[in-house]
Amino acid sequence: MPKPQVPLSPARRLVVVLAYDGLCTFEFGVAVEIFGLPRPEMGEAWYRFAVAGLDPGPMRAEGGVRILADGGLDLFEQAGTIVVPGWRGPGMPVPEPLVTALRAAAERGARILSICSGVFVLAASGLLEGRRATTHWRHARALAERHPGIRFVPDVLYVDEGAILTSAGSAAGIDLCLHLVRRDFGAAAANRVARRLVVPPHRDGAQAQIVAEPVPVVHEAARLGPLLDAMRAEPGRDWPIATLATRAGMSRRTLLRRFSAATGTTPARWLLGLRLDRARDLLEQPDRALEAVAEAAGFATAATLRRHFRRRFSVTPSAYRAGATTNTNGAPEDA
């Protein structure tokens, strides 16, 4: 079982997720999936989980679901981590009892995490004043206008301010929760949980939320589409800008402009992402030496692979391989 980076006391291991009438179902499910499922392979030091209800009785969740909580806001008094999974809407008031409970928990030292529109609850509680925070791009203007004291960070997946953490859109909540697992238990543990979820073990918090034009427009698909496919097929090949421009039938300047519009990044960064994905796949084959993985993925040396891999995934290739191929008993980890 992976050891916590800083051992969590039994009290600190309790994760309490807020439930409320009108609950955002997906965001709530993210917290349950990461922190609430039984994970005996992680040992006794793993998280404990509870649901704190803001409203009495069965609470409605989006999609016609009804939620019964384990208790009320008094559960915050015991929590090491509190998750606010979305909110009813940017303009919806936050009840004073919830504000009071969150402030008390923060003063006591609890970590408080919001997913998507849950940031408005933290903002109403005054917990984000003077801090960096983010939310879904659709709510960015509302957050900035309603709470000018927040140092809003646009176009990122999540922001970690230590005891206060905020994520962008709903799926970015997965990235933030895995980031917290990585903080608490290390990269191998986060990688193991991510593998069970069948999601990437790490997406950098600074990664953009959206790409302005995710696919080439029709009249350019015939040129950029095959080029992107060729790069995907041979990520280990050398792809200088001149070669890319020639294959696409464009000038260098036009190629760079069109490539950025289609992918949201430069050819070099996009190719690096392909190579890292390729390396990650190859690392799941335990019989391949690291040098061979580096060469096949297009990195000049194993040292170069280590540097880029750690920078992108916050884990070494060796640690990733250990987490991807074994569980605590040394048997293959299921997906």
**Structurally, what CATH architecture does the domain formed by 14-197 represent?**
3-Layer(aba) Sandwich (3.40)
What pairing do the DSSP bridges indicate for beta strands 65-67 and 59-61?
A: antiparallel
Residues β-bridged to residue 295? none
Whether 270-325 and 14-197 are alike in CATH topology: the answer is no
> Please, are residues 10 and 44 in contact by the beta-carbon 8 Å criterion?
no
Instruction: Give the pair of three-digit tokens for residue 280.
Output: 């990650």
Assigned CATH topology for domain 270-325: Arc Repressor Mutant, subunit A (1.10.10)
- Own/partner pairs for 233-241, CB < 8 Å, 24+ apart? 235/271, 235/274, 235/275, 235/277, 235/278, 235/297, 235/298, 236/275, 236/278, 236/295, 236/296, 236/297, 236/298, 237/298, 239/267, 239/271, 241/267
Domain ranges of the chain: 14-197, 218-265, 270-325
**pLDDT tens digits, 8-23:** 777 789 999 999 999 9
Amino acid identity for residue 186 in this structure: G
Residue 8, φ and ψ in degrees, nearest 5: -90, 130
Q: What is the pLDDT at residue 321?
A: 82
Higher-confidence residue: 5 or 199? Answer: 199
pLDDT at 253 over 60: yes
Position 7 scores a pLDDT of 59
pLDDT tens-digit readout, 226-237: 888 888 888 889
